[in-house]
Structure formats: structure tokens, C-alpha cells
Amino acid sequence: MAPETNPICGATPAAGPALVRRLTRTEYLNSLSELLPGAVSPSTEPLLLTDPAVDGFENQTRAIRPSALQVEAWSDVAAAAAQVALSAGPARVLGCSPEGDQALSCVGTFVSAFGLKAFRRPLTESEKSSYVELYQSLREELDVASSTELLVQAFLQSPQFLYRMELGHAGPTGIRALDSFEIATRLSYLILQSTPDDTLLAAAGASKLTNPDGLQIEIQRMLAKPAAASAFGEFVRQWLELNAVLDRGSHKDPVIYPGWNSELAKAALDDTANFAGFVFRHAQPTLKTLLQSGAGPVDARLIGVHGGVEGSAQRAGVLTRIAFLAANARSVGGSPPLRGATVQRSLLCASPPLPPSDVDRSEPLPSEGVGVTNRARFESRVASSMCKGCHVGMDGIGYGFEHFDAIGQFRTVDNGQPIDARGVLIDTGSTDGPFDGAPALSARLSESPVVNDCFVARFFQYAYGRPASDSDHCALERLQARFVASGGDLVDLIQQIALGPEFGQVAGFEDNAR
């Protein structure tokens, strides 16, 4: 149903909750690099914790709250980054010489300029004074370089840096409209997963982001940045739960896969992120390209596994890259249930049930039958009527990947038998039906209205740091309709989220400060 014909969706768009979102590990590192280029070193990265994933996503507000270890890690990273930044002398960071009569003026200018980037908005006079006073108090005991270093540390531990507070300003309807700087912040983390750059802050300062034309210009500019493609790759990593390649996917039978190791597992993650970036920059940056393209660069470390450098008739899209295939495999063979269930969760927004506790979940090994294929072993395992109910859906998808072994290498025979990669897609609406092989499966999935709608819902969850609620129904419906009309354009989806009426506002809340 088109949104304008849905009577439930009136003229006033629903506003999402006003969340205080802390920066994720990725957002923090990107923001730190933007603030202090070169300050993120190989020794500072391990200090930061990984964020817990909910539904695959590591940016869900309800799951990422402060802890003693987290707070200490931020303090340690701030100290390490500030030390690196100051290693070339304070003038390099301050942009002026903090000596003599000009010292306070120099520091004041730095506090305003650096604060604007760190807080993602201009500092109030009171905030500016408090940071200058901090510097002065430090100077009573320390030299200029040390005081500047500690001043930088203070900015990096500020709530205004560590948390995104897009809270808007109360209006007559109870809905709170975001100001230009808050919109800039939302926009920057949506597209680049980083703090606003100087140009965006300047546009916000000129109030250009509260009018559609000005907003559109900045969206286009940011989408053209290389970091936008990297940020999309980061989304794909989380959406497809690809980190499993570092855990479950990194343990392969060393006799069968002697070359596989944790470094290749990491390379597989990079490879998929680069492929996602390639799709994002493609002339047709669509879900169809993401799911069907056999082109795109292959990570040099994986060429031996992937079997091709650029393009391959055997592979089509992100589901045939090494990361997905190796992550959803066991130590000896690919796992049709794992591969199918991940597709069900990530692309069909389904919730495949866990197997009952008393069933045999061991990997069916080749020793169970000479000349028996991986597929036949799995089919035999789930042949009972008790298993079939669930496995018909997940394995119907998973068998489509049988041309790929446990590390994602292409094969035409398995255990001496020809590969059978035929499957059946169900619960995808008009695209239900049989297919043969992963490229055909991916083609069907990319045409599926269920997949298209699910993709929008998952991206929406990622964009807002929370699952869609009932009040997001109209926004989702509008975005889904547009996504289909655009041919599944990924870049357009991001634009439409940013241009949507709900992007610039939040629901009202009791304001205790006023």
C-alpha cells in the first residue's frame, strides 16, 4: 500500500523516542580520527571494547551502556590519543603559540574550534569558560604541552563527545524539532559513522540543514566520500552477522583446509566489506547488485580460496563471498541449516527456531558414508517429520550453497559425487519456488518483496539504534514503497531516511532542566 493512501498515516509524522546514544567502538574510532588525525594507533585500538550485538547490530542503544571497564577504556584511550597528538608539540594541536600575552587567546580559540568538532556544535560561553579555566588550572602545575594534552583528554571524556544527544527543542505539538547541529550529527553518523566534518558543521552553522535543499546538498556530498562506502561495509558486516567467521568460522579441519587460519578469516571480513563498498560505488548501487554481482575486487589474501580475482561466473553477490560461506559452515563441510537460517534472519526477518535440546546436532561427517555428499548426509539427518517442519525452510535455502565447502571454495563434486545445489524458497511471497545454485537463489531473493521490505526494516533498525516500533509503521511503509520503486537503490534508501520527516524530530519528554 502506498503511504499516501494509508489512512492511518496522517500528515503528522510519528517521532521516534529521544535517545541518548553512546558512540559505538567504530563510531568512536572514526570520530577520534576525524578530531585528531593520526592519533589512533595500533596500540590504542585494543584498549577499546567490542560492543555487544543485538540482532547482529552493535549500535543498539539498550545494549550499549557504560560499565567500569568501558569508562576506564575511554579514559585510557583519551590519554593515549592525546599523548600521540601532542608528540609533535602543542602548537601543532592548538594551531597557535600558547606563549606570552597571546596564551589565553590562543587556548580560547582552540577550545572553541576543537570543541565545535568534539561536541558537534558550538560551545556555550559557559562551556568555553570552563575548559579555558581547566587549562589555566593545569598550567599552574604543568607546562604548556602537558596542560594541552590533558585539555584534549578532557574533551575526549566529555559526555558531549561520548554520547549523541539529539534531543531537539520543545514545540507547541509536543514533538521536539532537532536543530541544524543535531541534524548534522544524525546525518554524519548515518552516512559516515563518524562525527561531522568541517563542511557539515559550517552548513549547520549557516542553518542550511533545516531546509530540504541545503540538506540534500550535504547528503550528496557525504555520500560521495570514500568513508560512506566503508560505513556501508560496516553495516553489511553486522547485518549478515559475519563476525561469526572469526569464531565458529575460524575453526576448520586442518587436514582438509591446511591453509585456513585466523588471518584468512579476518581477510574474509575485509573482503566482504570491500565488496559492499564496491556495490555502494557501483553504477547501480542496489540490493540486486549486492546480492547478484559476481564482480568486485577480491582480497589478495583470499585469491587462492576465492578462485578468481575479478568476477566469477560461479559466484554472485555477498552471499557467495568467503565471509558468509565460511562463517556459516562447520569444520569439515558447509552447513545448509546455518547458511539457510542466517538468510532467514537477515534477509527474510524470520526467526528460525533453535533445534530441540535432545536432537543430534553434530556435524554429519564423511565417515558416515563413503561417496555420500554433504547434502545427502544433512538430508538423512533431518529426514524425520519432527525435523522437517523447520528444516524445509532453512535447508531449502541452505542447499543452494552446496557448491561451496566449509571455507567457501567452489567445487563441482563432493565426495566423488556431482554437486546438487537445488533448493526451494518458501515464505518469500511471489518469488517462492525452486532454484538451482547460489546465483539463482540470490537472484530470487533480490526480487522478493519480503526481502526488500526486510532489508529496509533492518537498515532502519541500524540507522536509529533501535528496532522499529508500531509508531514507525508509516515511516517504514513509506521507505519500503520507495525502496521498491527505486529498484532497491541502497544509496537512495539512506537519502530517503535522511530526508524523511521523522529524521529531524524526536518525541517529547519531561524536560527537567527547564
The binding site for another protein (CB under 8 A) comprises 17-20, 22, 46-47, 49, 52, 62-63, 65-72, 75, 78-79, 83, 130, 134, 137-138, 141-143, 145-146, 149-150, 153-154, 157-160, 163, 165, 167, 247-248, 251, 253-256, 262, 330-332, 354, 357-358, 360-363, 365, 509-514
* Residue with smaller CB distance to another protein, 74 or 280: 74
Contacts of residue 241, defined as CB under 8 A and 6 or more positions apart, other chains included, come to 53, 56, 327, 342, 345, 346
* Residue with smaller CB distance to another protein, 22 or 237: 22
CB 497 within 8 Å of CB 463:
yes
Grid cell, residue 417, equals 559425487
* Residue with smaller CB distance to another protein, 79 or 187: 79
Nearest approach in angstroms of CB 262 to another protein is 8
E-strand ranges in 144-190 read: 163-165, 169-170, 176-177
CB 393 within 8 Å of CB 352:
yes
Beta bridge partners of 21: 164
Nearest approach in angstroms of CB 70 to another protein is 6
- Closest Cα to residue 29, out of 10, 51, 44? 44
* Residue with smaller CB distance to another protein, 213 or 360: 360
Nearest approach in angstroms of CB 120 to another protein is 14
- Closest Cα to residue 98, out of 58, 40, 152? 152
Nearest approach in angstroms of CB 9 to another protein is 25
Cα–Cα distance measured from residue 244 to residue 259, given in angstroms and rounded to the nearest whole number: 19
Nearest approach in angstroms of CB 307 to another protein is 24
Grid cell, residue 149, equals 594534552
* Residue with smaller CB distance to another protein, 16 or 296: 16
* Residue with smaller CB distance to another protein, 95 or 254: 254
Nearest approach in angstroms of CB 194 to another protein is 22
Nearest approach in angstroms of CB 499 to another protein is 25
Grid cell, residue 474, equals 508509516
- Closest Cα to residue 240, out of 285, 270, 216, 272? 272
* Residue with smaller CB distance to another protein, 349 or 426: 349
* Residue with smaller CB distance to another protein, 385 or 512: 512
Q: To which residue does cell 583470499 refer?
A: 302
Nearest approach in angstroms of CB 310 to another protein is 33
Number of Cβ atoms within 10 Å of the Cβ of 294: 16
Dihedral angle computed from the Cα positions of residues 207, 209, 211 and 217, in that order, rounded to the nearest 10 degrees: 120
DSSP 17-76: ---EEEPPHHHHHHHHHHHSTT---TTTGGGSPPPPPBTTBS--GGG----HHHHHHHHH
Share in percent of the chain as helix, strand, coil (round to 5): 60, 5, 35
* Residue with smaller CB distance to another protein, 279 or 325: 325
* Residue with smaller CB distance to another protein, 430 or 512: 512
- Would residue 142 be called left, alpha or beta, if left means φ above 0 and alpha means ψ between -120 and 50 degrees? beta
Nearest approach in angstroms of CB 440 to another protein is 29
Nearest approach in angstroms of CB 157 to another protein is 4
* Residue with smaller CB distance to another protein, 317 or 504: 504
CB 148 within 8 Å of CB 172:
no
Cα–Cα distance measured from residue 259 to residue 252, given in angstroms and rounded to the nearest whole number: 10
| φ, ψ at 89 (rounded to 5°) | 100, 150
Nearest approach in angstroms of CB 246 to another protein is 8
Nearest approach in angstroms of CB 304 to another protein is 21
Nearest approach in angstroms of CB 281 to another protein is 33
* Residue with smaller CB distance to another protein, 41 or 211: 41
- Closest Cα to residue 375, out of 356, 403, 355, 350? 403
* Residue with smaller CB distance to another protein, 19 or 177: 19
User: CB-based burial of residue 103 (10 Å sphere; 0-12 exposed, 13-18 middle, 19+ buried)?
Assistant: middle
- Closest Cα to residue 118, out of 105, 137, 100, 131? 131
3-state secondary structure of 501: helix
Contacts of residue 448, defined as CB under 8 A and 6 or more positions apart, other chains included, come to 348, 425, 428, 429, 430, 431
* CA Rg value for the chain: 26
Q: What is the DSSP letter of 489?
A: B
